Amino acid sequence: MKVAVVGATGMVGEVMLKVLAERNFPISELLLVASERSIGKTLVFKGKEYAIIGLADALAARPQLAIFSAGGDTSLEWAPKFAAVGTTVVDNSSAWRMDPTKKLIVPEINANELTPEDKIIANPNCSTIQMVMALAPLHKKYQMKRVVVSTYQSVSGTGIKAVRQLENEIAGVEGEMAYPYPIGRNALPHCDVFLENGYTKEEMKLAREPQKILDDRTFSVSATAVRIPTAGGHSESVNVEFENDFELNEVRRLLNDSPGVTVQDNPDTNTYPMPIYAHDKDEVFVGRIRRDETQRNTLNMWIVSDNLRKGAATNAVQIAEYLVAQDLLAKTLSYDR
């Protein structure tokens, strides 16, 4: 198995390598790929040092699998080139998510849609992944009508520049700003760029991606995305209205029985999900499960997950694991001379 990790030097790329090692993903040859300014530098994977190469060299090597986490522009340009030579691309950017010809995959929910012909596979937005992980089993049972979500997203979702801004502010050091305002001791209702409808791109991802993943456009999602001064882990307050009524104990059971979901919900012991406990874990944690007393058939939940792991790297690796397990990858790809 020849595997390329594109964007290996970025925050998600580094976690990707960690997850690949932890899960012992089958790799016979590893290609670490980054931008031109990183070519020639080295990274260590499983105790072995690897030199960073460029995209052209990685393409010439024809890996069976390429996991991209290098931004939308890079994916739009290079993912089709890799797909054209037979490589299966799992892409972590927003470039292909809403393309009707590409599948948007959360393995626990819809991996069975994948076929050998799917050469570019989209990894959903980090906030979308944790939300649909909790909503999918409840939607199947009770049929969602409307979801209202407010997110509390860590600075790591923006990238290393934002993490450094927060660290500088905590230390009282002036430095480069990732945001238009201070993030320390603050909350910015501004994730990604604003659109003409007054929502941000992040909010519209939360509105559109769940419908595609669940293959159902009969429910709607309204989102407000907020950046808060935490270094890692996204949190979400979710209010969901169902067609059918529910029992809270059954809701907790359905969630606990869902692969990848863990219920932490005991007010008597102050047990509820928090980013500090989700750090470096792959589960999606759900708590504060309670009935909305102002509206029929409506539930409130608090959902937390590590945005760099299940929200990005782990989900991508799980897609790759499914492709291997179902024998959906090309056996070998040779270079045509």
Q: Provide the domain limits for residue 41.
A: 2-95+313-325
**317 and 278 in a common domain:** no
Can you give the pLDDT at residue 334?
63
Can you give the pLDDT at residue 2?
98
Q: Edge to edge, what strands does the sheet with 220-227 contain?
A: 220-227, 144-153, 234-242, 298-305, 284-291, 261-263
Tell me the CA distances in angstroms from 214 to 137, 217, 240, 264, 306, one per residue in order.
Answer: 10, 8, 15, 25, 22
Low-confidence ranges of the chain (pLDDT < 70): 334-337
Which tens digit of pLDDT belongs to each residue from 66-82? 999 999 999 999 999 99
Q: Hey, which bits of 154-297 come out as E strands?
A: 220-227, 234-242, 261-263, 284-291
Q: What are phi and psi of 285, to 5 degrees?
A: -105, 135
**166 and 265 in a common domain:** yes
Q: How many domains does the chain have?
A: 2
The CATH number assigned to the domain holding 186 equals 3.30.360.10
- Residue 75 included in any domain: yes
Tell whether pTM > 0.95: yes
CB atoms within 10 A of CB 184: 14
Tell me the CA distances in angstroms from 100 to 95, 97, 153, 157, 294, one per residue in order.
Answer: 12, 8, 28, 26, 38
What is the torsional sign of CA 30, 34, 39, 43?
Answer: negative
- Residue 100 included in any domain: no
- Residue 105 included in any domain: no
Tell me the catalytic residues: 126, 234
The CATH number assigned to the domain holding 321 equals 3.40.50.720
**135 and 50 in a common domain:** no
- Residue 122 included in any domain: no
**282 and 137 in a common domain:** yes
**321 and 301 in a common domain:** no
Q: Which of these, 160, 76, 157, lies nearest to 122 by C-alpha position?
A: 76
DSSP-assigned beta bridge partners for residue 304: 235, 285
- Residue 106 included in any domain: no
- Residue 335 included in any domain: no
**169 and 41 in a common domain:** no
